[in-house]
Amino acid sequence: EDQVTQSPEALRLQEGESSSLNCSYTVSGLRGLFWYRQDPGKGPEFLFTLYSAGEEKEKERLKATLTKKESFLHITAPKPEDSATYLCAVQGGAQKLVFGQGTRLTINP
Amino acid sequence: DAGVIQSPRHEVTEMGQEVTLRCKPISGHDYLFWYRQTMMRGLELLIYFNNNVPIDDSGMPEDRFSAKMPNASFSTLKIQPSEPRDSAVYFCASGRDTNTEAFFGQGTRLTVV
């Protein structure tokens, strides 16, 4: 069974303090690993898809990386507007996305 | 494009009543997904359609849940009869493929009392 574990559950940072969020996964035949951002009261918003180990993608202050067992979402010099819940999901042979519980990120000004 | 549109945004109903949630996917997207989100279980896939045909409904919790997609621009998720444990936020999402990004609606917050 495909599984995703995200850590930490919650993270508080000061504005400008860089850090990383972790997504560990087990999947039968990885077809893709997805990162989403979710703001309170809204639906998840797509950030990145990674398809193979070694792949990296960047968007503004965010960079996602992938190994055979985990993915990291690195956030560099975050701003308060980066506060949100970040969700990781994997797609395996069954073709459906399995989501982790998310990391709730708070950036204090 | 207006994105994925869900209605209603909020629904409060009494136990035993029928509840119907509605979704309009993004035009041109062949895949439509229904998810449920709770604090305890996170985001779970209930069912997904490809070209209006249900492909995988293994996430539908019980026979009380049913979903239809009569055409490419409309889908419903029905719960009959509803129970308090069905209280959750229900999301609809659409996409061009299963392994590309899915676009989520704003969700319907369902409360069954």
- Mention every residue, 6+ apart, whose C-beta is less than 8 A from residue A15: A78, A79, A80, A107, A108, A109
Residues of chain B contacting A98 with CB distance shorter than 8 Å: 45
pLDDT tens track for A20-60 = 999 999 998 899 999 999 999 999 999 999 999 999 999 99
Look at residue B1 in the predicted model and tell me its pLDDT: 64
Strand ranges (DSSP E) for chain A? 3-7, 10-14, 19-26, 32-38, 45-50, 56-59, 62-66, 70-75, 84-91, 97-99, 103-108
With CB atoms and an 8 Å threshold, state whether A43 touches B43.
Answer: no
Look at residue B2 in the predicted model and tell me its pLDDT: 79
pLDDT tens track for A48-105 = 999 999 999 999 999 999 999 999 999 999 999 999 999 999 988 777 789 999 999 9
Q: Is residue B100's pLDDT more than 80?
A: no
With CB atoms and an 8 Å threshold, state whether B99 touches A95.
Answer: yes
Which pair of structure tokens corresponds to residue A13? 């940072």
Q: Is residue B98's pLDDT more than 80?
A: no
CA distance B24 to chain A (A): 15
Please count the CA atoms within 13 angstroms of the CA of B40 that sit on its side-chain side: 4
With CB atoms and an 8 Å threshold, state whether B91 touches A94.
Answer: no
